[in-house]
């Protein structure tokens, strides 16, 4: 059984392995042991914190195989980005160059540095180990976060975003960054990406071009990857699109990967979630659902099959599943069909 739960101090070594496996371009999980320990500490304190509004909380979850105890993936939520450190994007828009006298009209794409997503809730740190990218494990890692947000809306902003990993090669080289490096930086992409991941962002404000960049002045390779995702990220962005997330022209300042956004109440899993009572007994079903308890520090979620009728206000689950989800008979549980 695959169970999603909040990260614990005992998961430190597992997180180090995941950070190592995730590779270049995975900014939210840099391969820095001190920082990873701080991320765990911050997550544990965030889950324990009593709050009625989004702040600097960061919630990190892990996916555990209950049969082996192995941690096989992770995903996270930042309650509100940009409150302490500036949160940068490029916004892709157009300017018009026209002259009636010369009968010239040309629309030109530009990239403008901005902080438009300050205060938004961010989905982040989604990574699943190679051998476990099957069944519904990826959906559980991603969609369970929507259940948590839905159950505790006071902890999160109305707008939810996700930065998608942009195009880079096996050595971590980004065509978009190569152009920026040539003209504005003397630093390769993995180094810049790593520095951002460990919180050293001041160089962005110091060295990034302050004025809009005309896209047609970039190299052809750099232009081609604006708003495009890394091959490994395609399943993740397709899942988010199916949830109602849209791309509105915001891209990452390093690899130009797209950032997608949605209002909380427009997210499909949030709209379709039901709350039902738990009964414990013999359980057989043919409807695949995502189940999540309504706890915070003891949050648990899984994908299972249940018997579900249209007007049901309760479901029956096995004692084994109830124990894994920290549920007792009569408790409420959130349910969403997959």
Asked if residue 254 lies in contact with residue 196, where contact means CB atoms within 8 angstroms, the answer is: yes
In whole angstroms, give the CA distance from residue 256 to residue 90. 8
Task: State how far the alpha carbon of 300 is from the alpha carbons of 4, 173, 254, 333, in Å.
Answer: 6, 38, 35, 10
What are the Cα distances from residue 268, in Å, to 2, 56, 137, 141, 251? 22, 26, 18, 16, 24
DSSP 233: G
Residue 315 · residue 278 · CB < 8 Å: yes
Three-state DSSP class for residue 58:
strand
Q: Which of 91, 183, 230, 326 is catalytic?
A: 230
Q: Is 334 exposed, middle or buried (0-12, 13-18, 19+ CB in 10 A)?
A: buried
Q: What is the distance between the alpha carbons of residues 229 and 163, in angstroms, rounded to a whole number?
A: 10
Instruction: Round to whole Å and give the CA distance between 82 and 95.
Output: 28
Tokens for 268? 């499909």
State whether residue 88 is helix, strand or coil.
coil
In angstroms, rounded to a whole number, what is the distance separating the alpha carbons of residues 183 and 88?
19
The per-residue b/e assignment along 70-91, b for 16 or more CB within 10 angstroms, e otherwise, is ebbbbbbbbbbbbeeeebbbbb
**Catalytic residue at 97?**
no
Query: What is the spatial distance between Cα 253 and Cα 236, in angstroms, rounded to a whole number?
Result: 20
CA–CA separation, 259 vs 236, rounded Å? 12
8 Å CB contact between 71 and 18: yes
CA dist., res. 108 & res. 96, Å (int): 6
Catalytic residue numbers, as ranges:
230
């Amino acid at each position: 059984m695959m169970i999603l739960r909040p990260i614990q101090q005992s998961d430190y070594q597992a997180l180090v392995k995941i950070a190592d496996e995730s590779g270049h371009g995975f900014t939210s999980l840099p391969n820095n042991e001190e920082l990873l320990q701080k991320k765990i500490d911050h997550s544990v304190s965030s889950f324990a914190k009593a709050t009625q509004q989004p702040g600097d909380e960061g919630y990190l979850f892990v996916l555990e195989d209950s049969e082996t105890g192995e941690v096989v993936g992770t995903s996270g939520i930042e309650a509100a980005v940009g409150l302490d450190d500036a949160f940068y994007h490029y916004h892709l828009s157009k300017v018009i160059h026209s002259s009636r006298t010369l009968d010239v009209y040309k629309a030109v794409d530009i990239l403008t540095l901005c902080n438009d997503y300050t205060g938004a809730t961010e989905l982040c740190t989604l990574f699943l180990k190679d051998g476990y990218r099957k069944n519904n494990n990826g959906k559980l890692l991603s969609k369970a976060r929507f259940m948590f947000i839905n159950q505790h809306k006071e902890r999160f902003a109305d707008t939810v975003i996700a930065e998608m990993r942009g195009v880079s090669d096996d050595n971590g080289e980004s065509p978009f960054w190569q152009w920026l490096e040539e003209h504005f930086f003397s630093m390769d992409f993995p180094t810049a990406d790593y520095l951002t991941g460990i919180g050293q962002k001041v160089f962005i404000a110091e060295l990034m071009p302050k004025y809009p960049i005309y896209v047609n002045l970039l190299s052809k390779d750099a232009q081609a990857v604006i708003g495009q995702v890394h091959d490994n990220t395609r399943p993740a962005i397709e899942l988010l699109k199916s949830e109602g997330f849209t791309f509105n022209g915001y891209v990452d300042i390093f690899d130009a990967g797209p950032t997608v956004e949605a209002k909380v109440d427009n997210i499909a899993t949030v709209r379709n979630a039901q709350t039902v009572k738990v009964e414990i007994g013999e359980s057989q079903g043919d409807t695949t659902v995502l189940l999540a308890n309504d706890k915070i520090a003891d949050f648990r979620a899984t994908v299972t099959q249940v018997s579900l009728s249209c007007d049901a206000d309760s479901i029956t689950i096995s004692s084994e599943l109830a124990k894994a989800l920290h549920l007792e008979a009569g408790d409420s549980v959130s349910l969403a069909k997959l």
